[in-house]
Amino acid sequence: MIEAFVFDMDGILLDTESVCDRTWQIAGKEFGVSEEESLKIVNLCRGTNKSDTRDIIRRELGESFDVEGFLKRTTECFVEIEKNEGIRVMPYARECLQFLKNSGYRLALASSTREVIVKKHLQAAELLDFFEVIVTGDMVVHSKPDPEIYLKACSEIGIQPMNCVAVEDSPNGLKSASLAGMVTVMIPDRISSNEETEKVTDYLFDSLNGIILARW
pTM: 0.90
- Predicted local confidence at residue 145, as pLDDT: 95
pLDDT digits (tens, 9 = 90+) for 92-102: 999 999 999 99
- Predicted local confidence at residue 49, as pLDDT: 83
- Average per-residue pLDDT for the chain: 96
- Predicted local confidence at residue 57, as pLDDT: 97
| pLDDT tops 90 at residue 130 | yes
What mean pLDDT do residues 120-132 have? 97
CA distances from 30 to 27, 38, 66, 74, 214 (A): 5, 11, 12, 11, 45
| pLDDT tops 90 at residue 48 | no
- Predicted local confidence at residue 7, as pLDDT: 98
Domain ranges of the chain: 4-15+88-213, 16-85
Q: How confident is the model at residue 215 (pLDDT cuts 50, 70, 90)?
A: confident
Distance CA 21, CA 66 (A): 19
Distance CA 162, CA 99 (A): 21
CATH value of 4-15+88-213 in 3.40.50.1000, 3.40.50.10330, 1.20.1300.10, 1.10.150.120: 3.40.50.1000
